[in-house]
Structure 1
Amino acid sequence: MATLPGIASCYQPQQPSVKAGAAVTYSELQPAMNLRSHIYCYWELRTRQVLTDSFYYRVVADGCIDIFFDISNEEAPYIMGLSSRYTSFETGNEFHYIGIRFLPVALPFICGLDAALVTDRCELLSDVLPGIAKELKPLLAGKKNIRTYKVVLDQYWSTLIENCPSTIDMRLMDALKKIIDTNGNVQLGKDLYCGLSDRQLRRLFHQYIGESPKLFSKIIRFQNLLRAKPSVASLKRHKLFFDAGYYDQAHFIKEFKLFYGDTPTIALDK
């Protein structure tokens, strides 16, 4: 069995809640216990009624890779790599998406994927992982909701992981955990020393995560603040951006807007 040291206990990637009343809903469901070191969640985004206008769904940077598909239109599965900034999708006025959010490292580890090939890209799964796409196609047909998909997806990924011969360089996992444990506030040359040169570490990060240790650390820092859900008032009053590792307010606002798409004042006031 392919063993991957879990980071699920110390990293819970956040996405914004959907603000569209009862017309559009977003929900997450945990996978089976044996998958939680690889898969963060299954997610569902759907309309409950036909919308008057096209809906735009925002995905913020979280360091993860997702596989997703629209069951209402019977579209083929897609894969979305790590995003170095926020992404906005126009989804139309009626849709029903089901997705699998893999924790950092997990999908490249399971499937031998070079994560850098899908960074900042959304591609047909058949163009990136044709074997996985072919195996998933019959499993995805005819299901109605996230719970029915969970049953078949739990079984599929459990079998795949059980039969996967992969191993991983534990020095990469040590560096990854240091970044997460420090909420992204690391000195890349000093704090991440783990027996690898800077060049070797960058190569492994690009291969398994899709970006550099520096960019991934920024995403973790942003995600930590997002997960804390500070109020706009407390953020201004206590200058929490200093505690989060930003060197001034302008730096904090610029980086937050890059990863979220709105300023902290707008995003955290929702």
Structure 2
Amino acid sequence: MLNRAVASRLEKIRSKQPWLVLSAAQNFSLASSSNPVISHFYSFETSLLAQETKAIPDGCIDIIFDCDASSPKAEVFGTPMAAINVELECHHRYFGVRFASSIIPNCLKVSAEELIEHHFSLEDVIPNADQLLEEVAGQTDFAIQVAVFQKFFENKEARQLSMLTQAVVRFIFDQQGNIRIDKLAALTGYSTRTIQRQFHADMGMSPKAFSRIIRCQSAVYAINHRHQVTFSDMAFELGFSDQPHFLKEFKTLVSTTPKSYQRCVKQQAYLDKIQCF
């Protein structure tokens, strides 16, 4: 099992992409960030079976560098709305930056709506990013790659959200995604139409869609970190009308059943891959 220090660091990471961990040939390295805009950094070399892995909804933007010596590249990924295939090259080294959920870096020259369920070449959305790609891909040391990206990002900020959207995001997080639009209206004092319009302008999706993502990630997080999980209790806790509804939603967003997912992430082979720095 993971030692206590590693487990504590993992518990601070609220966004989970378990299929990326499974795609690693050996170690899946993780490092936290002192910048609250960035959730964490990660690095892994893919296995032969990783050509098509899955990404699940997490409300995050990732920048993923393919550090292949002959043809390095980097792409910016917006959050998917359901589990999707992600194509990875076998035996390539990857370095990733995951921004905190709901955060959009201001340096990205693309709208929030365009990012949803899409990915872009790094050079197309961050002007003059060639040097960053060269410096990150040219390193084999994970800690140096982290330092290179942090230096690049040190004078950059998150895109400013409206005060209303910030409040709505906070309420959605507090309730683990289990909150209705009429409740958000009562809490903020704004009409449902105003909330939906402003939230979509800032985030590129509706409050309902974002709540669905956070509810999914809340279930995934609980399965990863709780010693005992009863799925009927989890369905009730997250506001599902019944357990079958929860099971169907989980399979759509995570690409497997909660029971199968639990078996997967509790296996020692999965836990042994994760290394925190």
> Could you tell me how far apart the structure 1 residues matched to 2:204 and 2:189 are?
21
Deviations 1:148-191 (A, max 9, x none): 11111111111223xx8x64322211110000001111121233
Q: CA RMSD in A?
A: 2.8
> Could you tell me how far apart the structure 1 residues matched to 2:12 and 2:202 are?
19
Q: Partner of 1:23 in structure 2?
A: 25
The one-letter code matched in structure 2 to 1:253 is L
> Could you tell me how far apart the structure 2 residues matched to 1:211 and 1:10 are?
25
Deviations 1:52-73 (A, max 9, x none): x554322221110111110025
Residues 257 and 112 (structure 1), Cα distance of their counterparts in 2 relative to 1, 3 Å cut:
same
Q: 1:153 aligns with which of 149, 152, 155?
A: 149
Normalised TM-score (structure 1): 0.81
How is 1:29-48 mapped onto 2 (pairs within 5 angstroms)?
Answer: 29-31=31-33, 33=34, 35-36=35-36, 38-47=37-46
Q: Does 1:142 align with 2:138?
A: yes
The one-letter code matched in structure 2 to 1:63 is G
Q: Partner of 1:6 in structure 2?
A: none
Q: Does 1:117 align with 2:150?
A: no
In the TM superposition, what is the alpha-carbon distance from 1:124 to its structure 2 partner?
1.2
> Could you tell me how far apart the structure 1 residues matched to 2:200 and 2:65 are?
25
Q: Partner of 1:190 in structure 2?
A: 183
Normalised TM-score (structure 2): 0.79
Q: Does 1:223 align with 2:217?
A: yes
For structure 1, which runs of at least 5 residues remain unmatched after alignment?
A: 1-8
The one-letter code matched in structure 1 to 2:41 is Y
The one-letter code matched in structure 1 to 2:207 is P
In the TM superposition, what is the alpha-carbon distance from 1:209 to its structure 2 partner?
2.9
Q: 2:247 aligns with which of 241, 253, 266?
A: 253
In the TM superposition, what is the alpha-carbon distance from 1:223 to its structure 2 partner?
1.0
> Could you tell me how far apart the structure 2 residues matched to 1:253 and 1:27 are?
30
How is 1:1-270 mapped onto 2 (pairs within 5 angstroms)?
Answer: 12-16=14-18, 18-19=21-22, 23-31=25-33, 33=34, 35-36=35-36, 38-47=37-46, 51=48, 53=49, 55-73=51-69, 74-109=71-106, 111=108, 113-127=110-124, 129-131=125-127, 133-134=129-130, 136-161=132-157, 167-192=160-185, 193-229=187-223, 234-236=229-231, 239-270=233-264
Residues 200 and 44 (structure 1), Cα distance of their counterparts in 2 relative to 1, 3 Å cut:
farther
Residues 205 and 66 (structure 1), Cα distance of their counterparts in 2 relative to 1, 3 Å cut:
farther
Contact 1:10/1:181 (<8 A) preserved: no
SS at match of 1:189: helix
Residues 71 and 214 (structure 1), Cα distance of their counterparts in 2 relative to 1, 3 Å cut:
same
The one-letter code matched in structure 2 to 1:91 is L
Contact 2:106/2:156 (<8 A) preserved: no
Percent identity (aligned): 27
In the TM superposition, what is the alpha-carbon distance from 1:216 to its structure 2 partner?
0.8
Deviations 1:16-56 (A, max 9, x none): 16346x8343222112x2x12x1101111214xx73x5543
The one-letter code matched in structure 1 to 2:249 is E
In the TM superposition, what is the alpha-carbon distance from 1:253 to its structure 2 partner?
1.1
SS at match of 2:184: coil
Corresponding residue pairs, total: 250
Deviations 1:192-232 (A, max 9, x none): 45254434433443344332110110111111111111789
> Could you tell me how far apart the structure 2 residues matched to 1:45 and 1:148 are?
14
Residues 203 and 126 (structure 1), Cα distance of their counterparts in 2 relative to 1, 3 Å cut:
farther
For structure 2, which runs of at least 5 residues remain unmatched after alignment?
A: 1-10, 265-277
Residues 26 and 203 (structure 1), Cα distance of their counterparts in 2 relative to 1, 3 Å cut:
farther
SS at match of 1:186: coil
SS at match of 2:170: helix
Contact 2:28/2:43 (<8 A) preserved: yes
